[in-house]
Structure 1
Amino acid sequence: MLTQVFIRLLLSAYISLIALQQTHAANILAIFPFPGPSQYICVQAYLKALAARGHEVTVISAFPQKKSLQNFRDISIAEVLDGYEETIVDVITEERNKWQELNLYYDFFTGGTLSVLKSAKVQELLQSNEHFDLIIVEAIQLDAIYALAHHYNALLIGVSTYGTDPTIDELVGNTSPISYVPLPLSQLSDRMNFWQRLQNLWHHLLHQMHMHLFYLPNQAAIHKQYFPNSTADIYAVRKNFSLVLLNQHFSISFPRPYVPNAIEVAGMHISQRAGKLPTDIANFIRDAKQGAIYFSLGSNVKSKNLSKEKLETLMRVFASLPYNILWKFEATELPNKPPNVYINKWFAQSDILAQPNVKLFISHAGLLSTTEAIHHAKPLVGMPVFFDQFLNMERIKRAGIGVFVDYKSFTYDELRSAIVEVMENPKYTQTIQQMSRRYHDQPMKPLDKAIFWTEYVLRHGGAPHMRVTAQELNFIQYHSLDTLLVLIGGAMLVLLMPSWFVYRNVRRLLLGDCGKTKLKHN
């Protein structure tokens, strides 16, 4: 076992060394405009690694580095943070049907697109004589921003922080069979009954209709406004991706097909070495005689904004347990906080989960958090809130590595029972340890893989040989509707021919008899 690990490490180091020697330093522009910190956390280590390897990296985001880094320049668009917390509260509290949900994300992604293109700093960059070899974008319906690749005559790479969906599929000609690949906003699994497959199909059709009738035309208008001299339309731009890096891996999700330039890199944000914790936090975890629990609702949902009833229920549950609980709570004070609870505005989550005495992760089931839990083999109590978190929770349940608790309606008994079940039943820990071993059993670390394929694309001029011909086909050709129509028409003709012959012969006989009868009467 140790020999295999040693060989794998040597192979990874060798591949990285060879790639470094052969790849010339590139000027890279990365755009990650959304105000949710988790999206940027997913790519930060990747972008820093590119800079550390000698590439000049310019990043447009709301989260500039606190300390300057060599080869790393920030263009801050912090204005996108204005009103974001209120938007998340609205998303959580308001009930919406599927079409209203699509309209909500339409507004959100359109706002993200405009926040970049309207920025004075970005406009200054566009008007400058700077040149970029590679554009890296968040591949999440920012189609007008993809045009920066055409503007700079640069290669284009997308990063999806939650895996793929039909929209991301279109960027590289990937396919997600709707018979067993659930949409990210669903609560389905890869094993669907008839009604679930019907639901998945219906939601897929709604998504496609909304995308192609409303969203893309709007992005095309934005593209025309901000790139009036562009010779490529938005539909050509969005098919010009050399690569998409997907924050997913088959060992922690549902197995599914990918084209060659769709690369799974789940966990590339996780450091391979746990950082040292502050002394008070380390002692709080170490002194938990029956183990510690880490509780976080992620970077978008703030525990401080929970209702008074939810806060009281949580504190009653935590006070009744014999465990120490670390709670990501975004205010400095929490009245009536139990003595076995430690609150902080921010924790080094991965470093917390790396501690042996942390036995359970109570999470919102975000993909980054779920991946970190699997990386460190910590079972979960999941409280999904929105977006892909419900799909992630379905994976958690089916894998047997955690228990679901309804964020909107949980009671004292439900939450306490879920925590006790996972803490006292060893099957959850044993199952996630097995899953963690499968996840770690890869020829390259996720970050090394992301760097390798990025530089592969640079070395090979965009690697057009990796792109499937699907990108050159229209909807009818891609789905073989024209050839199917010919085959069906031919089959119908063959089937109808005998009927035609029968009809013609019967008619001839009948007409012949009638003709003879008429002659006799005459």
Structure 2
Amino acid sequence: MRLEFSWLAVALCVILQQDLCQDSVQAASILGIFSYHFSSHNLVVRPLARALVKRGHNVTLITPVGMPSDIEGVRHIRVPKLNQRVQEMIECDQMMDFFGSKWIAGWLAVTMLYNMSLDILSDEGVQRMLKDKSERFDLVMLEPSALEALYGIVEFYNATLMGFSGGNVNWSTEEVAGNFAPSINDPISSLGYSRGNSLLSKIYNWVHITEEKLLTHLIVRPSQLHIFKKFFGYSEQTFYYMRKRYSVILVNNHFSMGRVRSNVPNIIEVGGLHLTEPPEPCDAKLQRFMDDAEHGVIYFSMGQEILVQFLPEDMQQNLMKSLVQFKQRVVWKTELYSMPNKADNIYVIEQPPQRAVLAHPNTRLFITNGGLLSVMEAVYSGVPILGLPVFFDQFINLRNVNLRGMAEVLDANEMSLEMLTSTIRELLENPKYTLKARKMSQSFRDRPMSPLDTAVWWTEYALRNGDASHMRLKTEDVPLYYQWDWLILLAARFGIVFGSVIYLFYKVFQKTRAGPRPLQDREAAFQHLILLAPRWQAQ
């Protein structure tokens, strides 16, 4: 009897071992390239890198200096020149606001993106890696952005290509994922993008995104192809083939954030990845300030990239004058400790532990510029939002939660004191905002797996399967009007221009032909007078 049980135990172990082997993957060499010097992007990358190292993988990251900070077990290759590109990106966005032209802004953006690709591929550390004959990588993780020259690294190592987007999904990400459906089109830039739901707004947005596609095809991609050929010598066909090599694309997004998408299977939502790490706690002084807030706390922060001293003076004064009118205490993130007219109910701090502040039960309202991670943390904690968007994706982030009923959004450039005060009062006193925020929080948290476990599982899925073409839409399966919509607009625009030029030439030709006739008429009249002259003399 014992022998039978022993054999049963052995058989059970064998079965369990087979199941475990199916879900596991051998230690692999993984290369991640993350070019943006934004703290938000690196907060998302860091937990995934740590988890992959813990799973036994060899992880190498190519990043700007200091972002992310050194991770134990990870080999870091720092590219110093990338650190200055974020400032260029902000200046580019400001130029977009100034010029108001997507075509001029596109020319500025292509220079920045060209420089970023060049910075990475010409860096000494990256070049040493490429020249090391013993170096190999099983998987290369890229941001599915405009830095397409980096596809050459994937081809160089014959590695699996995986996408990892720390920001919002846009039509460009959908395109490399194989999804051409216009219902999920979001712009790369929100400058000039309509936020209305009318038919006219949808047509306007279709034009907006089509212009972005033209900019990408005519300006951005050719410049990246030039770098691709220069550094690797691969053909143009290889370049375009690589765009279809994405196996899995992890996106820092979740449907509960207010934007339901028509995702193809290879787009995996892992929004909240950074929330899997333990939050930094409040210090004793801040904790006491919030604990003793009888009427609650208002938290004000414009994110990590915006310094309060650079905000318009009238905006700062309006915020200060408005917030002192309320009985709630205020936690104010600023680098200015000697703020003028600071009231006793305002706690000034340079680097607040934002997640801990938002998670505090007394926090009633979050005033923010609307960075993706900040909005995500507010949703996670169920805190209503007053949005003051400034640039990049902040307008879209705030619009999404506004449509879900947990936020109000004001134009920071046209915000009056009365408008600001009445909006804050509405958010604090109307319970519908808190109820909506808590409902969104519940939806955001309710998942079968944590965002980190989901990201790790799909990363190893890409390693196990390599070619994941079975998860992509094939071009021949997509209706033609999904792929040719931008061609229709291009033809219409060039048709109007060409027709206008033809019409102009026609008018000029008509005028040219009509010009000699008066002269001919004058000559004929003169000759007629000469003929009549003898008769007048005879008379």
Taking structure 2 as the reference length, the TM-score comes to 0.79
Check the 8 A contact 1:185/1:391 in 2, yes or no. no
Confirm whether residue 464 of structure 1 aligns to residue 469 of structure 2: yes
Judged with a 3 Å threshold, the aligned counterparts in structure 2 of structure 1 residues 440 and 81 are, in CA distance, closer, same or farther, namely same
- Secondary structure at the counterpart of residue 233 of structure 1: helix
1:220 Cα offset (Å): 0.2
The 5-angstrom pairing of residues 117-266 of structure 1 reads: 117-129=121-133, 130-178=135-183, 181-183=185-187, 185-186=189-190, 187-188=193-194, 192-228=197-233, 233-266=238-271
* Structure 2 residues without counterparts, runs of 5 or longer: 1-15, 486-539
Confirm whether residue 25 of structure 1 aligns to residue 30 of structure 2: no
* Structure 1 residues without counterparts, runs of 5 or longer: 1-13, 482-522
Check the 8 A contact 1:134/1:155 in 2, yes or no. yes
Judged with a 3 Å threshold, the aligned counterparts in structure 2 of structure 1 residues 37 and 262 are, in CA distance, closer, same or farther, namely same
Relative to its length, the structure with more helix (as a share) is 2
Judged with a 3 Å threshold, the aligned counterparts in structure 2 of structure 1 residues 65 and 207 are, in CA distance, closer, same or farther, namely closer
**One-letter amino acid matched to 1:389:** Q
1:449 Cα offset (Å): 0.9
Judged with a 3 Å threshold, the aligned counterparts in structure 2 of structure 1 residues 107 and 282 are, in CA distance, closer, same or farther, namely farther
The 5-angstrom pairing of residues 277-292 of structure 1 reads: 277-292=282-297
- Secondary structure at the counterpart of residue 242 of structure 1: strand
Q: Which residue of 2 aligns with 1:434?
A: 439
Check the 8 A contact 1:88/1:300 in 2, yes or no. no
Taking the aligned partners of 1:304 and 1:298, their CA distance within structure 2 comes to 13
**One-letter amino acid matched to 2:83:** L
Judged with a 3 Å threshold, the aligned counterparts in structure 2 of structure 1 residues 86 and 447 are, in CA distance, closer, same or farther, namely same
Rg larger in structure: 2
The CA deviation string for residues 140-191 of structure 1, in whole angstroms up to 9 with x for no partner, is 211111221111111111112233222111212013424x6443534545x7
Check the 8 A contact 2:172/2:188 in 1, yes or no. no
Judged with a 3 Å threshold, the aligned counterparts in structure 2 of structure 1 residues 209 and 181 are, in CA distance, closer, same or farther, namely closer
Number of residue pairs matched?
463
Judged with a 3 Å threshold, the aligned counterparts in structure 2 of structure 1 residues 234 and 348 are, in CA distance, closer, same or farther, namely farther
- Secondary structure at the counterpart of residue 147 of structure 1: helix
- Secondary structure at the counterpart of residue 246 of structure 2: coil
Q: Per chain length, whose mean CA-contact separation is higher, i.e. which structure has more relative contact order (CA < 8 Å, sep 6+)?
A: 1
Judged with a 3 Å threshold, the aligned counterparts in structure 2 of structure 1 residues 265 and 302 are, in CA distance, closer, same or farther, namely same
Check the 8 A contact 2:49/2:59 in 1, yes or no. yes
The CA deviation string for residues 447-489 of structure 1, in whole angstroms up to 9 with x for no partner, is 211111111111123433323323x7899697499xxxxxxxx
The CA deviation string for residues 198-234 of structure 1, in whole angstroms up to 9 with x for no partner, is 1011112101111111111111001111212578632
Taking structure 1 as the reference length, the TM-score comes to 0.82
Among 67, 74, 77, the residue aligned to 2:76: 74
**One-letter amino acid matched to 2:246:** F
| Percent identity of equivalent pairs | 33
The 5-angstrom pairing of residues 68-107 of structure 1 reads: 69-82=71-84, 84-85=86-87, 88=90, 91-92=93-94, 94-95=97-98, 96-107=100-111
Taking the aligned partners of 1:463 and 1:405, their CA distance within structure 2 comes to 44
The CA deviation string for residues 476-505 of structure 1, in whole angstroms up to 9 with x for no partner, is 697499xxxxxxxxxxxxxxxxxxxxxxxx
Among 345, 350, 369, the residue aligned to 2:350: 345
Among 117, 129, 132, the residue aligned to 1:113: 117
> What RMSD, in angstroms, separates the aligned Cα atoms of the two structures?
2.8
Confirm whether residue 384 of structure 1 aligns to residue 411 of structure 2: no
1:111 Cα offset (Å): 2.9
**One-letter amino acid matched to 2:464:** R
Judged with a 3 Å threshold, the aligned counterparts in structure 2 of structure 1 residues 163 and 455 are, in CA distance, closer, same or farther, namely same
Taking the aligned partners of 1:245 and 1:124, their CA distance within structure 2 comes to 29
**One-letter amino acid matched to 1:77:** V
**One-letter amino acid matched to 1:349:** Q
- Secondary structure at the counterpart of residue 136 of structure 1: strand
Deviates more, 1:61-70 or 1:314-323: 61-70
The 5-angstrom pairing of residues 398-437 of structure 1 reads: 398-437=403-442
- Secondary structure at the counterpart of residue 269 of structure 1: helix
1:257 Cα offset (Å): 1.0
- Secondary structure at the counterpart of residue 207 of structure 1: helix
Taking the aligned partners of 2:21 and 2:384, their CA distance within structure 1 comes to 37
Q: Which residue of 1 aligns with 2:61?
A: 59
Confirm whether residue 276 of structure 1 aligns to residue 281 of structure 2: yes
Taking the aligned partners of 2:415 and 2:119, their CA distance within structure 1 comes to 37
**One-letter amino acid matched to 1:177:** P
Taking the aligned partners of 1:274 and 1:300, their CA distance within structure 2 comes to 20
Check the 8 A contact 1:92/1:385 in 2, yes or no. no
Taking the aligned partners of 1:64 and 1:20, their CA distance within structure 2 comes to 37
Taking the aligned partners of 1:329 and 1:206, their CA distance within structure 2 comes to 38
